[in-house]
Structure 1
Amino acid sequence: MRTLIVSEFISLDGVVDSPGGGSHPRAGWTFTEVPFVEEAYAIKGSEQLEATAMLLGRVSYDEFAPVWPTMVDDFAEYNAMPKYVVSSTLTDEALLPEWQNCHVLRSLDDVAELKAGDGGPIIVHGSATLAQGLAAAGLVDRYHLLVFPVLLGSGKRLFGDDPGLTTKLDLVEHEAYSNGIVKAVYDVAR
Protein backbone atom coordinates (compact mmCIF):
# COMPACT_ATOMS: atom_id res chain seq x y z
CA MET A 1 0.00 0.00 0.00
CA ARG A 2 1.22 3.49 -0.89
CA THR A 3 1.53 6.39 1.54
CA LEU A 4 -0.69 9.38 0.77
CA ILE A 5 0.82 12.70 1.92
CA VAL A 6 -1.07 16.00 1.99
CA SER A 7 1.36 18.93 1.72
CA GLU A 8 0.13 22.45 2.40
CA PHE A 9 1.17 26.01 2.97
CA ILE A 10 -1.24 26.96 5.75
CA SER A 11 -1.95 30.13 7.69
CA LEU A 12 -2.07 30.04 11.47
CA ASP A 13 -5.88 30.13 11.27
CA GLY A 14 -5.99 27.10 8.94
CA VAL A 15 -6.44 28.76 5.54
CA VAL A 16 -4.75 27.10 2.56
CA ASP A 17 -6.44 29.24 -0.10
CA SER A 18 -4.29 30.87 -2.82
CA PRO A 19 -0.86 30.78 -1.11
CA GLY A 20 1.02 31.53 -4.34
CA GLY A 21 -1.70 33.27 -6.33
CA GLY A 22 -5.35 32.79 -7.12
CA SER A 23 -8.69 34.31 -6.22
CA HIS A 24 -8.33 34.95 -2.48
CA PRO A 25 -8.20 38.70 -1.63
CA ARG A 26 -4.69 38.19 -0.20
CA ALA A 27 -3.55 35.73 -2.88
CA GLY A 28 0.18 35.10 -2.79
CA TRP A 29 0.34 35.57 0.98
CA THR A 30 3.27 33.16 1.32
CA PHE A 31 5.42 35.48 -0.78
CA THR A 32 4.07 38.91 0.13
CA GLU A 33 3.53 38.66 3.87
CA VAL A 34 6.44 36.56 5.17
CA PRO A 35 10.13 37.13 4.38
CA PHE A 36 11.73 34.35 2.32
CA VAL A 37 14.04 32.04 4.25
CA GLU A 38 15.34 29.28 2.00
CA GLU A 39 15.68 26.56 4.63
CA ALA A 40 11.97 26.84 5.47
CA TYR A 41 11.21 25.41 2.03
CA ALA A 42 13.67 22.49 2.12
CA ILE A 43 10.80 20.07 2.71
CA LYS A 44 9.49 20.92 -0.77
CA GLY A 45 12.66 19.56 -2.37
CA SER A 46 12.61 16.38 -0.30
CA GLU A 47 8.92 15.84 -1.12
CA GLN A 48 9.71 16.00 -4.82
CA LEU A 49 12.46 13.42 -4.46
CA GLU A 50 10.38 11.12 -2.22
CA ALA A 51 7.08 11.16 -4.11
CA THR A 52 6.40 8.80 -6.99
CA ALA A 53 3.04 10.29 -8.01
CA MET A 54 1.12 13.53 -7.56
CA LEU A 55 -2.59 13.81 -6.84
CA LEU A 56 -4.46 17.05 -7.54
CA GLY A 57 -7.97 18.41 -7.48
CA ARG A 58 -9.37 20.11 -10.55
CA VAL A 59 -8.75 23.70 -9.39
CA SER A 60 -5.13 23.03 -8.39
CA TYR A 61 -4.55 21.22 -11.68
CA ASP A 62 -5.94 24.23 -13.58
CA GLU A 63 -3.52 26.51 -11.68
CA PHE A 64 -0.41 24.26 -11.80
CA ALA A 65 -0.62 22.74 -15.30
CA PRO A 66 0.06 25.91 -17.31
CA VAL A 67 3.05 26.86 -15.13
CA TRP A 68 4.89 23.86 -13.69
CA PRO A 69 5.89 22.23 -17.02
CA THR A 70 7.81 25.39 -17.91
CA MET A 71 9.74 25.30 -14.62
CA VAL A 72 12.06 22.51 -15.69
CA ASP A 73 14.79 23.18 -13.12
CA ASP A 74 12.42 23.62 -10.17
CA PHE A 75 9.98 20.80 -10.82
CA ALA A 76 11.83 18.21 -12.94
CA GLU A 77 10.79 15.23 -10.78
CA TYR A 78 7.17 16.38 -10.51
CA ASN A 79 6.98 17.01 -14.23
CA ALA A 80 8.27 13.48 -14.96
CA MET A 81 6.17 11.50 -12.46
CA PRO A 82 2.58 10.33 -13.00
CA LYS A 83 0.02 12.96 -12.04
CA TYR A 84 -3.60 12.18 -11.22
CA VAL A 85 -6.41 14.72 -11.28
CA VAL A 86 -9.60 13.90 -9.40
CA SER A 87 -12.45 15.27 -11.50
CA SER A 88 -15.93 14.19 -12.51
CA THR A 89 -15.88 16.42 -15.61
CA LEU A 90 -12.35 16.33 -17.06
CA THR A 91 -11.20 13.62 -19.44
CA ASP A 92 -7.65 12.46 -20.13
CA GLU A 93 -7.99 14.08 -23.56
CA ALA A 94 -8.85 17.46 -21.99
CA LEU A 95 -5.63 17.55 -19.95
CA LEU A 96 -2.89 19.85 -21.19
CA PRO A 97 -0.49 17.82 -23.34
CA GLU A 98 2.40 20.03 -22.16
CA TRP A 99 2.21 18.43 -18.71
CA GLN A 100 3.19 14.87 -19.47
CA ASN A 101 1.85 11.75 -17.77
CA CYS A 102 -1.43 13.20 -16.41
CA HIS A 103 -4.48 11.02 -15.85
CA VAL A 104 -8.01 11.57 -14.57
CA LEU A 105 -9.49 9.72 -11.62
CA ARG A 106 -13.26 9.96 -11.25
CA SER A 107 -13.76 9.43 -7.51
CA LEU A 108 -12.24 8.84 -4.10
CA ASP A 109 -12.80 5.12 -4.76
CA ASP A 110 -10.38 5.47 -7.68
CA VAL A 111 -7.91 7.21 -5.35
CA ALA A 112 -8.28 4.36 -2.83
CA GLU A 113 -7.52 1.87 -5.61
CA LEU A 114 -4.42 3.84 -6.66
CA LYS A 115 -3.27 4.02 -3.03
CA ALA A 116 -3.80 0.29 -2.53
CA GLY A 117 -1.46 -0.51 -5.42
CA ASP A 118 2.28 -0.89 -5.48
CA GLY A 119 4.62 2.05 -5.52
CA GLY A 120 5.99 4.87 -3.45
CA PRO A 121 4.34 7.88 -1.83
CA ILE A 122 1.60 9.92 -3.47
CA ILE A 123 1.80 13.66 -2.75
CA VAL A 124 -1.18 16.03 -2.73
CA HIS A 125 -0.41 19.74 -3.21
CA GLY A 126 -3.02 22.42 -2.64
CA SER A 127 -6.44 20.98 -3.41
CA ALA A 128 -8.22 21.90 -0.14
CA THR A 129 -11.53 20.33 -1.16
CA LEU A 130 -9.80 17.13 -2.26
CA ALA A 131 -7.72 17.02 0.95
CA GLN A 132 -10.88 17.31 3.03
CA GLY A 133 -12.50 14.47 1.08
CA LEU A 134 -9.40 12.30 1.40
CA ALA A 135 -9.32 12.89 5.17
CA ALA A 136 -13.03 12.08 5.54
CA ALA A 137 -12.49 8.85 3.57
CA GLY A 138 -9.56 7.86 5.81
CA LEU A 139 -7.07 7.93 2.93
CA VAL A 140 -4.52 10.42 4.32
CA ASP A 141 -1.45 8.91 5.99
CA ARG A 142 0.66 12.03 6.62
CA TYR A 143 0.47 15.82 6.62
CA HIS A 144 3.39 18.06 5.68
CA LEU A 145 2.46 21.54 6.87
CA LEU A 146 4.37 24.78 6.55
CA VAL A 147 2.50 27.00 8.99
CA PHE A 148 2.85 30.70 8.16
CA PRO A 149 2.59 33.34 10.89
CA VAL A 150 -0.37 35.13 9.28
CA LEU A 151 -4.09 35.22 9.98
CA LEU A 152 -6.18 35.41 6.82
CA GLY A 153 -9.62 35.25 8.42
CA SER A 154 -11.37 33.63 5.49
CA GLY A 155 -10.75 31.27 2.60
CA LYS A 156 -10.57 27.56 1.94
CA ARG A 157 -9.38 25.67 4.98
CA LEU A 158 -7.52 22.41 5.17
CA PHE A 159 -9.86 21.03 7.78
CA GLY A 160 -13.52 21.80 7.24
CA ASP A 161 -16.37 21.93 9.69
CA ASP A 162 -17.16 18.21 9.78
CA PRO A 163 -17.88 17.41 13.45
CA GLY A 164 -17.71 13.70 12.62
CA LEU A 165 -14.10 13.96 11.48
CA THR A 166 -11.92 13.47 14.51
CA THR A 167 -8.43 12.25 13.77
CA LYS A 168 -5.48 11.85 16.10
CA LEU A 169 -2.18 12.97 14.62
CA ASP A 170 1.33 12.07 15.79
CA LEU A 171 3.98 14.78 15.39
CA VAL A 172 7.00 13.13 13.75
CA GLU A 173 9.05 16.15 12.70
CA HIS A 174 9.04 19.87 13.40
CA GLU A 175 11.23 22.90 13.01
CA ALA A 176 10.84 26.66 13.39
CA TYR A 177 12.52 29.18 11.11
CA SER A 178 13.71 32.76 11.59
CA ASN A 179 10.80 34.17 9.55
CA GLY A 180 8.21 32.57 11.85
CA ILE A 181 7.29 29.66 9.58
CA VAL A 182 6.92 26.37 11.43
CA LYS A 183 7.30 23.01 9.69
CA ALA A 184 5.06 20.36 11.23
CA VAL A 185 4.95 16.81 9.89
CA TYR A 186 2.20 14.61 11.29
CA ASP A 187 1.38 10.94 10.76
CA VAL A 188 -2.28 9.98 11.00
CA ALA A 189 -2.58 7.68 14.01
CA ARG A 190 -4.37 4.44 13.17
Structure 2
Amino acid sequence: MRKLVLKISVTADGFVCGPNGETDWLLRAKDKAAQAWLEKTLWEAGVHMMGSRTFHAMAAYWPTSSDLLAAPMNEIPKIVFSKKGLAEHTKDSMARQALNDSSRLDAERGPFRTALSKGTGTWLDPWVASDLVADITELKQQDGKFILAHGGANFAQALVQHGLIDEYRLVIHPVAIGKGISLFASTPTQIDLKLESSTQFASGVIATIYSTIRK
Protein backbone atom coordinates (compact mmCIF):
# COMPACT_ATOMS: atom_id res chain seq x y z
CA MET A 1 0.00 0.00 0.00
CA ARG A 2 1.19 3.50 -0.77
CA LYS A 3 -0.20 6.66 0.75
CA LEU A 4 -1.22 9.90 -0.90
CA VAL A 5 0.63 12.93 0.45
CA LEU A 6 -0.43 16.49 -0.35
CA LYS A 7 2.34 19.09 -0.21
CA ILE A 8 1.09 22.63 -0.43
CA SER A 9 2.02 26.12 0.76
CA VAL A 10 -0.52 28.11 2.77
CA THR A 11 -0.63 31.53 4.36
CA ALA A 12 -0.79 32.02 8.12
CA ASP A 13 -4.53 32.68 7.77
CA GLY A 14 -5.09 29.45 5.88
CA PHE A 15 -5.25 30.34 2.17
CA VAL A 16 -3.42 28.54 -0.64
CA CYS A 17 -3.72 31.57 -2.93
CA GLY A 18 -5.50 34.89 -3.28
CA PRO A 19 -9.05 35.25 -4.68
CA ASN A 20 -7.72 35.28 -8.25
CA GLY A 21 -4.98 32.71 -7.75
CA GLU A 22 -2.31 35.14 -6.51
CA THR A 23 0.77 33.45 -5.01
CA ASP A 24 3.30 36.31 -5.01
CA TRP A 25 3.58 35.90 -1.21
CA LEU A 26 5.45 32.64 -1.78
CA LEU A 27 8.58 34.57 -2.76
CA ARG A 28 8.75 36.71 0.38
CA ALA A 29 10.26 34.06 2.66
CA LYS A 30 13.39 32.49 1.21
CA ASP A 31 15.10 29.95 3.41
CA LYS A 32 17.81 27.41 2.51
CA ALA A 33 16.79 25.07 5.32
CA ALA A 34 13.16 25.16 4.20
CA GLN A 35 14.23 24.44 0.65
CA ALA A 36 16.28 21.46 1.87
CA TRP A 37 13.19 20.15 3.68
CA LEU A 38 11.21 20.50 0.47
CA GLU A 39 13.90 18.81 -1.61
CA LYS A 40 13.92 15.86 0.79
CA THR A 41 10.13 15.54 0.47
CA LEU A 42 10.35 15.57 -3.32
CA TRP A 43 13.00 12.84 -3.44
CA GLU A 44 11.02 10.64 -1.05
CA ALA A 45 8.08 10.44 -3.47
CA GLY A 46 7.61 7.62 -5.96
CA VAL A 47 5.53 9.71 -8.33
CA HIS A 48 4.36 13.32 -8.65
CA MET A 49 0.64 13.88 -9.20
CA MET A 50 -1.09 17.10 -10.26
CA GLY A 51 -3.97 18.66 -12.14
CA SER A 52 -3.62 19.78 -15.74
CA ARG A 53 -3.18 23.50 -15.00
CA THR A 54 -0.34 22.89 -12.58
CA PHE A 55 1.19 20.38 -14.97
CA HIS A 56 1.36 22.86 -17.86
CA ALA A 57 2.87 25.55 -15.62
CA MET A 58 5.50 23.16 -14.26
CA ALA A 59 6.27 21.60 -17.65
CA ALA A 60 7.11 25.05 -18.97
CA TYR A 61 9.55 25.70 -16.13
CA TRP A 62 11.25 22.64 -14.66
CA PRO A 63 12.85 20.88 -17.68
CA THR A 64 15.34 23.70 -18.28
CA SER A 65 15.53 25.09 -14.75
CA SER A 66 18.78 25.31 -12.78
CA ASP A 67 16.87 25.36 -9.49
CA LEU A 68 18.10 22.89 -6.85
CA LEU A 69 14.66 21.28 -6.89
CA ALA A 70 14.78 20.63 -10.63
CA ALA A 71 16.39 17.19 -10.35
CA PRO A 72 13.61 15.51 -8.29
CA MET A 73 10.92 17.39 -10.20
CA ASN A 74 12.32 16.19 -13.53
CA GLU A 75 13.48 12.68 -12.71
CA ILE A 76 10.51 11.36 -10.74
CA PRO A 77 7.57 10.27 -12.96
CA LYS A 78 4.47 12.43 -13.32
CA ILE A 79 0.74 11.62 -13.37
CA VAL A 80 -1.65 14.28 -14.64
CA PHE A 81 -5.39 14.26 -13.99
CA SER A 82 -7.35 15.66 -16.87
CA LYS A 83 -10.85 14.78 -18.13
CA LYS A 84 -10.11 16.35 -21.52
CA GLY A 85 -6.61 14.98 -22.07
CA LEU A 86 -3.49 17.07 -22.55
CA ALA A 87 -2.78 19.43 -25.42
CA GLU A 88 0.57 19.26 -27.19
CA HIS A 89 3.19 21.27 -25.34
CA THR A 90 6.85 22.16 -25.76
CA LYS A 91 9.09 19.80 -27.71
CA ASP A 92 12.27 21.59 -26.75
CA SER A 93 15.17 19.26 -27.57
CA MET A 94 17.12 20.12 -24.42
CA ALA A 95 14.10 19.25 -22.29
CA ARG A 96 13.59 15.97 -24.14
CA GLN A 97 17.19 14.90 -23.64
CA ALA A 98 17.21 15.85 -19.96
CA LEU A 99 14.00 13.97 -19.18
CA ASN A 100 14.56 10.79 -21.17
CA ASP A 101 17.80 9.99 -19.31
CA SER A 102 16.08 9.04 -16.06
CA SER A 103 16.42 5.46 -14.84
CA ARG A 104 13.55 6.02 -12.40
CA LEU A 105 10.94 5.63 -15.13
CA ASP A 106 11.40 1.89 -15.64
CA ALA A 107 11.55 1.33 -11.88
CA GLU A 108 8.22 3.09 -11.31
CA ARG A 109 6.33 1.89 -14.40
CA GLY A 110 5.48 -1.52 -12.96
CA PRO A 111 2.97 -0.57 -10.24
CA PHE A 112 0.67 1.43 -12.52
CA ARG A 113 -2.32 0.02 -14.36
CA THR A 114 -2.46 -0.38 -18.14
CA ALA A 115 -4.36 2.85 -18.73
CA LEU A 116 -1.55 4.86 -17.19
CA SER A 117 1.34 2.91 -18.74
CA LYS A 118 0.78 4.48 -22.16
CA GLY A 119 2.95 7.42 -21.17
CA THR A 120 6.55 7.43 -20.00
CA GLY A 121 6.02 9.65 -16.96
CA THR A 122 8.11 12.56 -18.29
CA TRP A 123 7.02 16.17 -18.70
CA LEU A 124 6.85 15.48 -22.44
CA ASP A 125 4.85 12.29 -22.10
CA PRO A 126 3.24 11.99 -18.64
CA TRP A 127 0.85 9.33 -17.47
CA VAL A 128 -2.67 10.74 -17.83
CA ALA A 129 -5.63 9.75 -15.64
CA SER A 130 -9.22 10.96 -15.69
CA ASP A 131 -11.16 9.32 -12.84
CA LEU A 132 -9.93 10.99 -9.66
CA VAL A 133 -11.36 8.59 -7.08
CA ALA A 134 -11.05 5.30 -8.98
CA ASP A 135 -7.55 5.90 -10.33
CA ILE A 136 -6.10 7.18 -7.07
CA THR A 137 -7.73 4.34 -5.13
CA GLU A 138 -6.10 1.84 -7.48
CA LEU A 139 -2.72 3.55 -7.30
CA LYS A 140 -2.82 3.57 -3.51
CA GLN A 141 -3.37 -0.18 -3.44
CA GLN A 142 0.03 -0.75 -5.05
CA ASP A 143 3.36 -1.07 -3.27
CA GLY A 144 5.99 1.65 -3.52
CA LYS A 145 6.95 5.09 -2.32
CA PHE A 146 4.19 7.54 -1.56
CA ILE A 147 2.28 9.53 -4.19
CA LEU A 148 3.03 13.23 -3.84
CA ALA A 149 0.21 15.55 -4.91
CA HIS A 150 0.91 19.14 -5.88
CA GLY A 151 -1.67 21.98 -5.78
CA GLY A 152 -3.42 23.94 -7.72
CA ALA A 153 -6.13 24.99 -5.36
CA ASN A 154 -8.95 23.31 -7.30
CA PHE A 155 -7.13 19.99 -7.62
CA ALA A 156 -6.13 20.01 -3.94
CA GLN A 157 -9.68 20.87 -2.88
CA ALA A 158 -11.01 17.93 -4.91
CA LEU A 159 -8.60 15.56 -3.18
CA VAL A 160 -9.75 16.87 0.21
CA GLN A 161 -13.41 16.71 -0.74
CA HIS A 162 -13.19 13.03 -1.66
CA GLY A 163 -11.18 12.08 1.42
CA LEU A 164 -8.23 10.81 -0.61
CA ILE A 165 -5.37 12.42 1.30
CA ASP A 166 -3.52 10.31 3.87
CA GLU A 167 -0.98 12.93 4.88
CA TYR A 168 -0.85 16.71 4.66
CA ARG A 169 2.53 18.45 4.39
CA LEU A 170 1.61 22.09 4.86
CA VAL A 171 4.28 24.74 4.40
CA ILE A 172 2.93 27.70 6.37
CA HIS A 173 4.27 31.11 5.33
CA PRO A 174 4.46 34.10 7.72
CA VAL A 175 1.98 36.25 5.84
CA ALA A 176 -1.75 36.95 6.09
CA ILE A 177 -3.64 37.99 2.96
CA GLY A 178 -7.13 38.44 4.41
CA LYS A 179 -9.06 36.65 1.69
CA GLY A 180 -8.45 33.93 -0.84
CA ILE A 181 -9.05 30.26 -1.57
CA SER A 182 -8.97 27.85 1.35
CA LEU A 183 -7.72 24.29 0.98
CA PHE A 184 -10.59 23.02 3.12
CA ALA A 185 -13.39 25.22 1.73
CA SER A 186 -15.26 22.29 0.18
CA THR A 187 -14.69 19.77 2.97
CA PRO A 188 -17.99 17.87 3.40
CA THR A 189 -17.25 16.61 6.92
CA GLN A 190 -14.83 17.23 9.75
CA ILE A 191 -11.33 15.89 9.13
CA ASP A 192 -9.44 14.71 12.20
CA LEU A 193 -5.67 15.06 11.95
CA LYS A 194 -2.68 13.85 13.95
CA LEU A 195 0.36 16.12 14.12
CA GLU A 196 3.39 14.07 13.11
CA SER A 197 6.00 16.84 13.10
CA SER A 198 6.47 20.58 12.98
CA THR A 199 9.67 22.24 11.79
CA GLN A 200 10.26 25.98 12.16
CA PHE A 201 12.77 27.76 9.95
CA ALA A 202 14.64 31.02 10.44
CA SER A 203 12.50 32.81 7.84
CA GLY A 204 9.38 32.15 9.89
CA VAL A 205 8.16 29.39 7.57
CA ILE A 206 6.80 26.36 9.43
CA ALA A 207 6.59 22.92 7.79
CA THR A 208 3.92 20.78 9.43
CA ILE A 209 3.06 17.17 8.73
CA TYR A 210 -0.39 15.87 9.65
CA SER A 211 -1.69 12.37 9.07
CA THR A 212 -5.39 11.79 8.50
CA ILE A 213 -7.15 9.84 11.25
CA ARG A 214 -9.39 7.27 9.57
CA LYS A 215 -12.48 6.25 11.54
Whether TM exceeds 0.5 here: the answer is yes
Deviation at residue 101 of structure 1 after TM alignment:
4.8
Paired with 2:160 and 2:24, the residues of 1 have a C-alpha distance of 25
8 Å CA contact retained: 2:39, 2:72 = no
Match of 2:204 among 172, 180, 188: 180
8 A contact 1:80–1:100 mirrored in 2: no
Look up the SS of the partner of 1:94 in the other structure: coil
Residue in 2 that maps onto 1:8: 8
Alpha-carbon deviation of 1:31? 0.9
TM-score (normalizing by structure 2): 0.76
Q: Give the Cα separation in 2 of the matches to 1:77 and 1:182.
A: 22
Identity, % of aligned pairs?
A: 30
Residues 1:106 and 2:130 are matched in the alignment: yes
TM-score, length-scaled by structure 1: 0.85
- What residue number does 1:147 align with? 172
- Larger-Rg structure: 2
Match of 1:116 among 141, 156, 163: 141
Partner AA of 1:102 in structure 2: P
Secondary structure of 1:110's match? helix
Quick one: distance in 1 between partners of 2:90 and 2:42? 21
User: Matched residues in 2 for 1:16 and 1:169: separation?
Assistant: 19
1:60 and 2:85 aligned: no
Q: Distance in 1 between matches of 2:204 and 2:85?
A: 39
1:183 CA displacement:
1.3
Q: How is 1:1-190 mapped onto 2 (pairs within 5 angstroms)?
A: 1-17=1-17, 24-25=21-22, 27-32=23-28, 34=29, 36-71=30-65, 73-91=68-86, 94=88, 96=90, 98=95, 99-108=123-132, 109-162=134-187, 164-190=188-214
Q: Secondary structure at the match of 2:211?
A: strand
Distance 1:118 1:96, change over 3 A: farther
User: Which aligned runs of 4 or more in structure 1 are off by greater than 4 angstroms?
Assistant: 95-98
Q: Where do 5+ consecutive residues of structure 2 fail to align?
A: 96-122
1:78: Cα distance to partner? 2.4
Counterpart of 1:177, as a letter, is: F
Please, what is the CA RMSD of the aligned residues? 2.0
Unaligned runs of 5+ residues in structure 1 are none
Q: Which digits, 9 at most, give the CA deviation of each residue in 1:146-179, with x for residues without a partner?
A: 10111112332211143x3211111011022222
How many equivalent pairs are there? 181
